[in-house]
Amino acid sequence: MIRTVKTAVVGVTGYAGAELARLLLRHPRLKNDPPVFAGRVDEKDAARGGVPLAEIHPSLADSKGSGTLRLQPFSWDLFTDLEVDILFLATPHEQSRTWVPEALARGIRVIDLSGAWRLNEAVNREVYAFEDEGSAQAASIQAEAVYGMPELHRAEIAGARIVANPGCYATSIILPLKPLVQAGLVDLKHGIVADSKSGVSGAGKAPSAKTHFMYAADNLSAYGVFGHRHTGELLEQIGIDSSDIIFTPHLLPIPRGILSTVYVHFKETQTRASLAHVYHAFFAGSPMVRLYEKTLPQIQHSVHTHYADIGFQLAADGRRAVIVSCLDNLLKGASGQAVQNMNVMQGWGEAEGLE
């Protein structure tokens, strides 16, 4: 018999939450035990047992009973009574900082899609201005939080109680850069440039002036220059200093998808074969990374998939390269990676429910 696990999702109303619900409802290990969906529910809806999931996301209704699932009023006792094993938090950063300690105290493992626990260094966390920064409890949880990128931390994720799901931009830059930097090939004195472009869904579901149709449509704009909150993830996970990289995010007038173009110099002359060998060796056993051999990745080929696509072009002098990385910001950049982390935590096939 296939062993199952009881899951719960808080934050299902957002874009990433909707994708997470869809993945968990179709996951082969969870067929007979759908997730618990909990969140803010008003008194009227609470009286009828919660809000039907199909009313929140009509696309999740099907002929297999998913249409009967409801968003129930949030309650820790609800999770305890239903013996929830893994709690997915697709919530704001401040909310996750408040709820993770309670979940861990109740013996519930957490996969947090926010940035609440991604950063180990206090200087990098300053961008979030957490109210509990410096407290003993926050320091204790941060010390055991594992950065949820299986390609880098597979062994640690397997036994983790709290997994901090990476940022979408960060995933698109760390994966193409880490193998080269770890191998000692990159000349950091020349600096790295990461030019990234994301679809509008990366900003979340809450509307703003810059995600309004009249601003985003037929437009391309840079933002968060020298101050984007994903920068700290790049520094910590790649193992570089802030002076080693310039990261500039841009808003694309498309619903979803990320393309990052990364420019590097090498310490010594490289060949295409030598770089390909580094990538293949690093990502051996990583089913959610696709390496492009003859062409460069494009958003249209990565969107609606759970893969990170990586390709590169080497300059004729062998000392410079342009690396292109593409992924779906709501999947490999968020919910798909969260499910990938669950698979690793449970000892299941890493790609189960994702291919």
**Catalytic residue ranges:** 168
Q: Is 151 helix (H, G, I), strand (E, B) or coil?
A: helix
Distance set, CA 324 to CA 49, 114, 161, 260 (Å): 48, 25, 33, 6
How many other C-beta atoms can be found within 10 angstroms of the C-beta atom of residue 146? 20
CA–chain centroid gap for 259, Å, is: 15
DSSP string, 80-148: HHTT--EEEE-S-HHHHHHHHHHHHHTT-EEEE-SSTT---SHHHHGGG--TTTT-HHHHHHHHH-EE-
Instruction: In whole angstroms, give the CA distance from residue 269 to residue 13.
Output: 50
How many other C-beta atoms can be found within 10 angstroms of the C-beta atom of residue 155? 10
Q: Is 229 helix (H, G, I), strand (E, B) or coil?
A: coil
Supply φ then ψ for residue 321, to 5 degrees: -145, 150
Instruction: In whole angstroms, give the CA distance from residue 75 to residue 82.
Output: 11
Instruction: In whole angstroms, give the CA distance from residue 245 to residue 177.
Output: 11
